[in-house]
Structure 1
Amino acid sequence: MSPPTDLPDPPFDVASPAQATSPAIFNSPHSGSRYPASFLASSRLDARALRRSEDAFVDELFAAAPSYGAALMRAHFPRAFLDVNREPYELDPRMFEGRLPPFANTRSVRVAGGLGTIARVVGEAQEIYGARLPVEAALARIETLYKPYHRTLGRLISRAHRSHGAALLIDCHSMPSSGGVRDERPVAEVVLGDRYGTSCAPAIMDLAEQTLRKAGFVVARNRPYAGGYITEHYGAPASGFHALQVEINRGLYMDERTHMKTAGFEPLLDLLTTFVRVMAQAPLGALTTVRAAAE
């Protein structure tokens, strides 16, 4: 199983604080924009079309995390190439030449929609590939990128938990400014997802929502984004592991057609820096203890 030879180097990185004073870890798994040449050559779409699946500039919007004692992890490889916010083997057998491992999840809703670990489509169901991929190529991406990414993220979370008695993962994403061509209604400016109350303590969700509303944002909970695999997998509030997904409306800071920042970027960065500070400095022990006692 040969790994791709033209991957970003490094494929992801961690911006660590000078002192890890916070139990929070900020993660930007979908902001990668370095497209392997071999991937572009195998795609029937151009780079501009492929970028529709990017959470463009999200890593920059949360870049203040290390200043407040929290790590920031970010992918450099693009989501269209490999999506780490999926199970490791959510794969569509129709995409590949060869047999998938028997443990692959081939029947998930995300696979059915073309958005498995290796996506079949971007945007409004635009097919990425013009031909089937060798199954070895899929497995190489998982071994080379997916597993190292999650090993690193898992270590960051475990280290925070050991040091602080609890850990808070803030999984950072962006969302289209409308529901798509069939639904042009605007969505909220920020959507917070805690898997309907199962991935973090309620008081943490309350703090996040209150902070964002105070900054002037229109905030929604869990609809239409409740959190993906990362939020679900790492969130175990009863054991002190809390995970919260944050989705930022792209219309606030970028032109979605050109993928360029707009004049709204800097004001948004300032507001989100306040959010980063509040969440990085959140007293997790006191928050979760008080809420648990009240219940």
Structure 2
Amino acid sequence: MDDSLEPGFTATGDMDGRWPLVIASPHSGRYYPAAFLASAHLPLPQLRRAEDVLVDQLLAGISGVPVLCARYGRAFLDLNRAADELDPRMFEGPLGVPARNSDRVEAGLGVVPRVVGLGLDIYRNKLPAAEAARRIAALHMPWHDRLATQLARAREQHGYAILLDCHSMPRPAGIMPPQIVIGDRQGRSASPALVTLIERHFAGAGWRVARNNPYAGGYTTVHHGQPAVAVHCIQIEVDRTLYMDSGRLVPGPGFDRMARHFQALVQVILAAAPLLGLGSPFSEAAE
């Protein structure tokens, strides 16, 4: 494996807290170290199927508001998992860092994933024991530290902070499935008024919108979404066929439209947020 890792994300916009909103794309990274590719059992096109392809580019037209985008591919490290969601069976020898089992780990989708796609194994062999700690220290911790810092700066200046965690999804099964899924951990990670505002924005554009089904939010919403202390985190999942050619992993006919609606959503939130009481104490029991 590589001896050192490059910076794990890009950050654009004003970082001084002047905006109450922060936007993140943890799964759109497409950089894969050469040593990782050499160790992988799968070719790059299959590894890239784990990405939220082009979500970072959908957000590229947003100005002012801080936007953080991962650089490394999700198959290398998943920023939307807890740092201890590790499978020791993937590594040679003791890990030297905490590890706990979860349904995601059992499925091969921990912070250092074992599989992509339909259960396809990523690696030819077990990884060195130190590799998990190295990736987490270099990529996972700085990402979540920066998110926490930006949210703290926003809350300090505005009395509240909002994080939009942006993802793409394969088209869900079923008749007339949702095209946009808004996740708030069943009402625990954000103000209901804010969630409703975002739902109405996308529904007003003519898309089918669902809340928490089939995606209610991952580690980011669990860790950063703390409405009791005026930090609101909402996960947004977009059907990737709305904006890209899923076969070739390039922008599709709907790309510009989706990008415009993300830009418009920023303006809708900035205009409405001061009126939503987002700095007021929030009780889950009220849901």
Shorter-chain TM range is: over 0.9
Cα distance in 2 for residues equivalent to 1:162 and 1:290: 14
Asked if 1:4 corresponds to 2:13, the answer is no
Q: Does 2:211 align with 1:248?
A: no
Residues in 2 aligned to 1:71 and 1:46: alpha-carbon distance in whole angstroms: 34
What amino acid maps onto 2:77 in structure 1?
Answer: L
From 142, 157, 161, the equivalent of 2:155 is 161
Matched, 1:215 2:205: yes
Q: 1:33 aligns with which of 26, 30, 36?
A: 30
Structure 2: gaps of 5 or more residues:
none
Q: How many residues align?
A: 284
Give the superposition deviation at 1:290: 8.7
Whole-angstrom distance in 1 between the partners of 2:217 and 2:248: 27
Map of 2:109 onto structure 1? 115
Q: Is the 8 A contact 1:195 1:232 kept in 2?
A: yes
Task: Calculate the TM-score normalised by the size of structure 1.
Answer: 0.90
2:17–2:150 CA contact under 8 A, matched in 1: no
Alignment of 1:74-85 (within 5 A): 74-85=69-80
Q: 1:281: how far off?
A: 3.5
Alignment of 1:3-152 (within 5 A): 4-5=2-3, 7=5, 9-17=6-14, 20-65=17-62, 67=63, 69-101=64-96, 103-105=98-100, 107-152=101-146
Q: Is the 8 A contact 1:90 1:116 kept in 2?
A: yes
Deviation at 1:269, TM superposition (A): 1.3
Identity of matched residues, %: 42
Gaps of 5+ in 1: none
Q: What SS does the corresponding residue of 1:32 show, helix, strand or coil?
A: coil
Q: Sort the Cα spacing of 1:123 and 1:284 in 2 relative to 1 into closer, same or farther, 3 A.
A: farther
Q: Distance in 2 between matches of 1:199 and 1:144?
A: 27
Deviation for aligned residue 1:64: 3.5
Q: Aligned-pair distance for 1:20? A: 4.8
For 2:21 and 2:137, locate their aligned partners in 1 and report how far apart those are by CA, in whole Å. Answer: 27
Between 76-85 and 263-272, the greater mean CA deviation after superposition: 263-272
For residues 29 and 270 of structure 2, the distance between their equivalents in structure 1, rounded to whole angstroms, comes to 23
Indicate yes or no: 2:195 matched with 1:198.
no
String of CA shifts for 1:138-195, please: whole Å, max 9, x gaps: 111111111111111111111111111100000000001244xxxx766311100000
Cα distance change, pair 224–76 in 1 and its aligned pair in 2 (3 A): same
TM-score normalised by the chain length of structure 2: 0.92
Give every structure 1 segment of 4 or more consecutive aligned residues whose post-TM-superposition deviation is greater than 6 Å: 289-293
